Amino acid sequence: MQAQDIERVLFTEEALRTRVAELAAQIDRDYAGREPMFISVLRGSFIFMADLVRAVTLPCKLDFMAVSSYGSGTTSSGQVKITKDLSENIEGRDIVVVEDILDSGNTLAYLLQILQARRPASIRLCTLLDKPSRRVKPVQADYVGFPVEDLFVVGYGLDYAERYRNLPYIGVLKPQVYEPAASGDA
Ligand code: PRP
């Protein structure tokens, strides 16, 4: 049972649903009369993206991108590689980049630079979680679901070693799961 590895629930399904609806309403207001293109940065943002765009009522387009960091361990480095590029041309479009978490800012600093070079009309960043205390690069999100402390969070798309993404809530992982010495079996 994955739930046994969770120390405590940080954001319940209901809290997530409520906040995602608020973000969507704000995006609806900000982009009224326009047709934004949402870009999901895989894989972590896929659940947030799916819920967010279903709560948005404006006409919109969707696309997906995947990046991998050359960093090791739990911290991303400044080196990012595109492993799946967009299918659509974004020139002249109003782009909303959708992320699950903004941490050091390394991934987004790189990605925003790449996207900006393709000359969209505008780019905004929407992240479900924001860990400002970890920031290395000066990246700021335009839409933030929840600011979070520097905790090891999983669920609702966020993983540890590719697990826990399918938990319907966001929880704090028990340290013994990612510190094998503490349990002898992680
Ligand atoms: C996470 C998240 C961001 C990035 C944020 O992705 O989705 O892309 O880390 O970290 P940063 O601000 O320190 O760059 P991750 O590399 O865990 O891949 P995933 O989306 O496939 O889980």
Residue 181 alpha carbon to ligand 1 centre in Å: 25
**DSSP per residue over the chain, as a string?**
-GGGGEEEEEE-HHHHHHHHHHHHHHHHHHTTTS--EEEEEETTTHHHHHHHHHH--S--EEEEEEEEE---TTS--S-EEEEE--SS--TT-EEEEEEEEESSSHHHHHHHHHHHTT--SEEEEEEEEE-GGG--S----SEEEEE--S--EEBTTB-BTTBSTT-SSEEEEPHHHH-HHHHS--
63 falls within a domain: yes
Give a yes or no: residue 179 inside a domain: no
Quick one: residue 19, left, alpha or beta (phi over 0 = left, psi -120 to 50 = alpha)? alpha
Tokens describing residue 182: 């503490």
Q: Separation of 185 CA from ligand 1 center, angstroms?
A: 25
* C-alpha 107 to ligand 1 mean position (Å): 7
Its domain, for residue 121, covers 14-149
User: From the CB of 128, is ligand 1 less than 6 Å away?
Assistant: no
Nearest atom in ligand 1 to 75's CA:
13
Ligand 1 proximity of 102 Cβ (cutoff 6 Å): yes
Instruction: Give tens-digit pLDDT for 148-161.
Output: 999 999 999 999 99
- Evaluate: CB of 101 within 6 angstroms of ligand 1: yes
Angstrom distance (rounded) from CA 102 to CA 129 = 6
51 in a structural domain = yes
pLDDT tops 60 at residue 72: no
CA of residue 32 to ligand 1 center, whole Å:
30
Ligand 1 atom index nearest CA of 99: 7
What is the reported pLDDT for 186? 45
Residues recognised as catalytic: 103
Cβ of 127 below 6 Å from ligand 1: no
- Phi/psi at 39 (nearest 5 deg)? -115, 115
User: Is 77 inside a domain boundary?
Assistant: yes
- The answer to whether position 167 is within a domain reads no
pLDDT at 79: 76
The mean pLDDT of 137-158, rounded to a whole number, is: 97
Q: What is the bridge-based pairing of β-strands 143-147 and 122-130?
A: parallel
In terms of Cβ atoms closer than 10 Å to its own Cβ (0-12, 13-18, 19+), residue 120 is middle
Residue 184 domain-assigned (yes or no): no
159 lines ligand 1 (CB under 6 A): yes
Q: What is the pLDDT of residue 75?
A: 60
- Is residue 123, in this structure, part of any structural domain at all? yes
Identify the weakest region by mean pLDDT among 63-72, 81-90, 116-125, 162-171.
63-72
CATH number at residue 144: 3.40.50.2020
pLDDT tens figures, 39-51: 999 999 999 999 9
**Averaged pLDDT score across all residues of the chain:** 93
Residue 135 lies in a domain: yes
Pocket test for ligand 1, best of 100, 128, 156 (most atoms within 8 A of CB): 100
User: How many separate domains does the chain show?
Assistant: 1
